[in-house]
Structure 1
Amino acid sequence: MRRGLALMALALLGAGCASTTGVGYYWQSVTGHLRLMQAARPVDDWLADAQAPERLKERLALARRIRAFAVTELALPDNASYHRYADLQRRAAVYNVVAAPALSLTLQTWCFPVAGCVGYRGYFDEADARAFARTLPADLEVVVYPVPAYSTLGWMNWAGGDPLLNTFIGYPEGELARIVFHELAHQVAYARGDTEFNEAFATSVERLGGARWLTTQASEQARTDYAVFDQRRRAFRSLTFSVRQQLQDIYRDTTIDDAEKARRKATAMTGFHRSYQDLKRGWGGFAGYDPFVAQANNASFAAQAAYDGLVPAFEALFEREGRDFARFYDAVRTLAALPKEERQTQLRRLAPAGAPQVARHP
C-alpha cells in the first residue's frame, strides 16, 4: 500500500474504548507509543553525536529543511512535531489490520472515543496484529500491512510531538518530503469518523507540497530519481483504480447472483495479476509493489481507495481557493465541521467530471 502505501494509523488515539477493544488493545497502544516517544532525541543531538552515521546526519539535515519548508511555503503547523528522531529498530511504526466482505469494497470499521469510526486497527507489534487478524470472521478478507508513520493529530506536541523515524528517514527525497507534509496535514484538519476525507486531504497536501518542494528545492538528480519513482506509482495507481472500478461494478450488479459475482471477481483478479507482471517487465523488474499484489483482496483495494478516492475534489478546492494553502486549509476545516453526508455532498460537487465519486455509504 502506500508509503509503502498504507493508511495513517492513529493507534494511540484509537485505543481508548475498552468496551469494544479490550484492555489489551488499549495497553499495547499506550505503551507502544510511549516507547516510541522515549526513543526520540532532538535532531540537534543526533547531528552533534560523533557516533551517529554520516548518512543519517545527511538525512536528518534534509528533513530539517523539509520541516522548515512545510511552515514557510505550505502554511503547515509550526510546532514540536518532526524536530526529533527515533530509531525503532524495526521496519514499521505500526501494523494495520483492515478487513472487508468477500463481495464488497466497504471496510470493516472500529469505533473509538477520539478518532471516531475508522477502517483499520493499528498495532505496534506485528505478531499482535496478525493474532487479531486471525480472530476476525472467516467471511471477511483481511490484510495486515506495515505503516511507516502515524499522526497523533498534534495532541502530543506538548510531549515533544511526532518524531521522525528510521522507518521512513531513508526514503527518496521527494517521498520523504511528501510523508512529512502528509502527517503534518493531519494536524490541520480532522473529521471524526471519516477516514476517506482525512486521508484524501492529507494526500492532496503531500502531492501539492511535494511537487512544490521538488520544483523549488530539490537537486536535478533528486527530481530525476523521483520522476522515475512517481511514473511507476502513477502507473500502478491507474491499474489499481481500474481494478477497483471493475470490482465495484461487479458487486453492485443486481442482475447476477453471488456465485456469478465471485466468478467475475476471480477473473478480474487474474487480470490484475497479469497486468501487474506486464508493468514490471516495463520497469525492468522493479518489484516495489509485490507485497501489495501478493495479498491483494477487497480489504487492500478498499484501504488504498481511502487515500486517493477524494483527492481530485481536494485539488479542485485548492484551485478554487487561489492555490493559497492557508485559505485551502480554512475551507477544509469548514468541511470537516459539517455532518458527514453534507460534507460528502459538497465534495461531490467539487470533483471534476470523470473523477472518482465520493462514497455515499455512511
Structure 2
Amino acid sequence: MKKKWKWLVLVSLVFFLLANAHLISYLLMQGQGQIEVLWNATSIEEFLNESNDEKLKTKLLIVAAVKRFAKSELGLDSEGLYTTIYDQKGEEILWNLTACEPFAMQSVEWSFPIVGTVSYKGFFDLKKAKDEELNLLEKGYDTRIRPVNAWSTLGWFQDPILSNNLKRSEGRLVELFIHEITHANVYLKDSVTFNENLASFIGEQGALLFLTKKYGSQSTLLKEYLKSENDAQNFVNHCLKGVSDLKKLYSGFTSEMTQKKKESMKDSFMKSWVLKLDSIPFNNPEVYTGRFKDKLPNNAFFMAFERYDSKKSTFDLQLTNEFDNDLKAFIRFYIANSDGL
C-alpha cells in the first residue's frame, strides 16, 4: 500500500511539473534576475565612501531621509529596505509586459505564488518579454512593454536602490520610495488595482508633506513639484476619460460589425484622443504633447491608468472626510485593516 502511495505522489508531482512547466521556467528566470541584482548591490556606506559623484551622494542621503520620514511621520516600516544600491550603469534592467482585449477594457491576468493574480508580468530579459509579447499579439491582444523604475519584494528581501532612480528630481524621488515602502506595509493578494492606487496616492501625498516640512509651503522646490503634479494629474484625467470613453465605444460594438469596422472606429478614437492633448493647459507641454507622434496608444496603455490612478480620488475624499487630512492615521487604518478589506 505504501509503495502505491509513493507512486501516486510521484505521478502527481510529474503531472504538476508538466502542467506548470512554463510558470516554473518563468519563476526561475525571475529568481535568477532578482538574485543577480541583490548579489551585486553595494552597501550605501561603501558607495558613499568610494563615489566622487556628489549629486548621487546627495540623492542617497535624501532616500535615507525619506525612510526616516516614512517611519516617523507616516507610520510606514522601512526596516531593511534600501540599505544597498545596484548600479544599473545607465541601462534598464527590468520590464513589465501588459496586455488587454482588443475591443474591451479587460486586461490579461497572470497568477503567481504569494502575490496572487496580477495584470502585468515582469522580465529581467527584454528579449523574453518581446517573445511573450509576440505570442499575445498573435492572439489578437493589445500589448505594452515599458521599463520598470522600481519594484518591491513586499518585505521578503532587502530591496536595493536602483541607480537610475537617483536621476529623478527630489520630489519624484520621494514619491517613488514612499510608493514602494507602502507596498512593503500594505499589500492585498489578488488586488492589484487597490494596491497600486493606494501606493500611488500615499506616495504623492507623502511627497507633498515631506517637501513642505523640509523646505516650507512657499519654497520653489515645492512649487515646482506642485506644477509637475498638476501636469501629471491633467494627463491622468485625460487618460481616465479615455478609459471611460473606450468602454462606451466598445459597448456599442455588435457581433454583426466586421473586424475592419471595429478597428477603424478604434483607430479614429485614438487619433482624436491624442489631438485633444494639445488643448490641455500643461505647465510643461513638451513632456506630454508629441509623445504619440510615432505610435498611437492602445487599450493596454489606457489600462495602466485604471490600475494606478482610478481610485485615488476616492482615497482623497476618505482622507479629508474620515481622517481630517491626517495621512498617518489614514495609513494606520489600512495597515490595521488590510486583512479584512
Would the alpha carbon gap of residues 337 and 171 (structure 1) be closer, same or farther in structure 2, given more than 3 Å must change?
same
1:22: Cα distance to partner? 3.5
Return 5+ residue gaps in structure 2 as ranges: 1-16
Would the alpha carbon gap of residues 322 and 188 (structure 1) be closer, same or farther in structure 2, given more than 3 Å must change?
farther
SS in 2 for 1:80: coil
Match of 2:194 among 193, 197, 207: 197
Q: Determine whether 1:85 maps to 2:85.
A: yes
Matches within 5 A, 1:248-287: 248-253=247-252, 258-259=257-258, 261-279=262-280, 283=284, 285-286=286-287
1:32: Cα distance to partner? 0.6
The residue type equivalent to 1:85 in the other structure is I
Larger Rg: 2
Q: Determine whether 1:149 maps to 2:150.
A: yes
CA distance in 2, matches of 1:214, 1:72: 15
**2:74/2:331 contact within 8 Å kept:** no
CA distance in 1, matches of 2:266, 2:35: 43
Q: Which has the higher helix share?
A: 2
CA distance in 2, matches of 1:115, 1:262: 35
Name 1:321's counterpart in structure 2.
323
CA deviation map 1:307-328 (0-9, x unaligned): 0111122223333134444542
Matches within 5 A, 1:37-186: 37-49=38-50, 51-136=51-136, 137-156=138-157, 161-186=158-183
1:227: Cα distance to partner? 2.9
Fraction of identical pairs, as percent = 23
CA deviation map 1:247-302 (0-9, x unaligned): 01112237785546544322221112212345599735335882798352101111
Return 5+ residue gaps in structure 1 as ranges: 1-15, 344-362
Matches within 5 A, 1:299-338: 299-319=300-320, 320-333=322-335, 336-338=338-340
Task: Pick which of 98-107 and 77-86 moved more.
Answer: 77-86
The residue type equivalent to 1:240 in the other structure is C
Name 1:31's counterpart in structure 2.
32
The residue type equivalent to 1:238 in the other structure is N
Name 2:299's counterpart in structure 1.
298
CA distance in 1, matches of 2:106, 2:294: 19
1:333: Cα distance to partner? 4.2
CA distance in 1, matches of 2:44, 2:290: 32
TM-score (norm. length: structure 2): 0.84
CA distance in 2, matches of 1:290, 1:64: 34
**1:119/1:195 contact within 8 Å kept:** yes
1:65: Cα distance to partner? 1.4
CA distance in 2, matches of 1:18, 1:292: 43
Q: How many residues align?
A: 319
CA distance in 2, matches of 1:262, 1:200: 31
CA deviation map 1:30-66 (0-9, x unaligned): 11111111222222222221x4311211111122112
The residue type equivalent to 2:239 in the other structure is T
CA distance in 2, matches of 1:101, 1:323: 39
The residue type equivalent to 2:52 in the other structure is A
SS in 1 for 2:30: helix
CA distance in 2, matches of 1:17, 1:56: 47
The residue type equivalent to 1:204 in the other structure is F
